């Protein structure tokens, strides 16, 4: 087991994405996916030890998904295994992002292992999110694990709201309330708190002592700090080939950056200042852009890249103000 203070326990689903062929959109290719699995593989490729705790099916797809994670360096020793089949997600990319149709019932994918307080305490952070947060029987396991992580470790939540799933808003809001770090798109926040401005919702979450990262596709990303400061990074132009998994790559890069900065521990992200937050966003946006620029991939196309020098420190904002870092981001919509 590759646990330790600098490692991440990733809890959630690993499934198969059926994605259109570049030249014949009616033809579908099966590729491993699922937001938590993408995050775990992204972490491993970026040099951060990752342990995946999910459900693995006994079919060919289940073996394919597990082989994919293990070949990237992800530890799958905690996975629960079942003879049931693997869940499927049919991807429908469009000009406003990628939509999905899911085949989830009676699958091994959402039968997760139990996560105890003792297990949680051995990791730098616990990530929870994806469909597993709202699809039973996984949702109950995710909620229980999140409560343990909130009390004994560092809980990171990506609500990753899907319109195609029934309900789940209350469960995702509860996870965000437990979390120490929340990464969400502006669309996620708008769906979780209808009628409220996404930035205002992010600010309220941060004011309660959290680090909140809001992604906005082509408009870049913003970090909302517990100090009430905000740091924004605009988009970097990139020829978008594929947006599948770019938001998950962004999430993995945020965690990898925090780990490299020695902040992947309970209380660590709470002390992040505006200059370092800008560097974190710039790094994560560059990783997401790399995913958008490749065909057929949903994780970073390289391994262990250096974090590089921090971005130029932004002008210190007045309390509640916003600083801007002129680097990072990605052109394209609907990826995060």
pLDDT digits 0-9 by tens, 168-216:
799 999 999 999 999 999 999 999 999 999 999 999 999 999 999 999 9
For 61-67, what is the mean pLDDT?
97
Classified by CATH at the fold level, domain 4-324 comes out as 3.40.1190
**What burial letters (b/e) apply to 165-185, b meaning 16+ CB within 10 Å?**
eeebeebbeebbebbbbbbbb
pLDDT for the residue 304: 59
Whether the per-residue pLDDT at 101 is higher than 90: the answer is no
pLDDT for the residue 312: 35
More confident residue, 266 or 93: 266
For 286-303, what is the mean pLDDT?
69
pLDDT for the residue 315: 38
pLDDT digits 0-9 by tens, 212-271:
999 998 899 999 999 889 999 987 776 666 666 788 999 999 999 999 999 999 999 988
pLDDT digits 0-9 by tens, 104-132:
999 999 999 999 989 999 999 999 999 99
pLDDT for the residue 100: 75
pLDDT digits 0-9 by tens, 19-60:
887 788 788 889 999 999 999 999 999 999 999 999 999 999
When pLDDT is cut at 50, 70 and 90, the band that residue 333 belongs to is very low
Residue 232 CA neighbour count, 13 Å, CB half = 13
């Amino acid at each position: 087991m590759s646990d330790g203070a600098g490692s991440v326990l990733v809890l959630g689903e690993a499934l198969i994405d059926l994605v259109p062929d570049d030249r014949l959109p009616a033809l579908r290719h099966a590729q491993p996916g699922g937001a938590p699995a993408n995050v775990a593989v992204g972490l491993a490729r970026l040099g951060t030890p990752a342990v995946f705790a999910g459900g693995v099916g006994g079919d060919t797809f289940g073996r394919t998904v597990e082989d994919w994670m293990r070949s990237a360096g992800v530890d799958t020793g905690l996975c629960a295994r079942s003879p049931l089949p693997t869940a499927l997600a049919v991807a429908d990319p469009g000009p406003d992002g990628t939509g999905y149709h899911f085949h989830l019932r009676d699958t091994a994918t959402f039968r997760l292992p139990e996560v105890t307080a003792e297990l949680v305490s051995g990791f730098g952070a616990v990530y929870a999110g994806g469909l597993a947060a709202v699809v039973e029987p996984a949702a109950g396991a995710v909620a229980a694990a999140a409560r343990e992580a909130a009390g004994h470790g560092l809980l990171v939540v990506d609500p990753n709201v899907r319109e195609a799933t029934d309900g789940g808003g209350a469960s995702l809001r509860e996870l965000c309330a437990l979390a120490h770090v929340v990464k969400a798109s502006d669309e996620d926040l708008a769906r979780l708190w209808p009628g409220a401005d996404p930035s205002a919702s992010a600010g309220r979450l941060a004011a309660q002592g959290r680090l909140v990262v809001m992604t906005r596709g082509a408009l870049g990303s913003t970090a909302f700090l517990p100090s009430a400061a905000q740091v924004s990074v605009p988009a970097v132009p990139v020829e978008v080939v594929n947006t599948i998994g770019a938001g998950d790559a962004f999430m993995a890069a945020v965690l990898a950056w925090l780990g490299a900065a020695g902040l992947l521990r309970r209380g660590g992200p709470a002390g992040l200042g505006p200059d370092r937050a800008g560097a974190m966003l710039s790094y994560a946006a560059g990783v997401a852009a790399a995913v958008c620029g490749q065909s057929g991939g949903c994780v970073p196309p390289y391994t262990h890249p250096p974090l590089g020098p921090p971005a130029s420190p932004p002008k210190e904002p007045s309390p509640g103000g916003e600083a801007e870092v002129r680097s990072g981001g990605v052109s394209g919509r609907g990826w995060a």
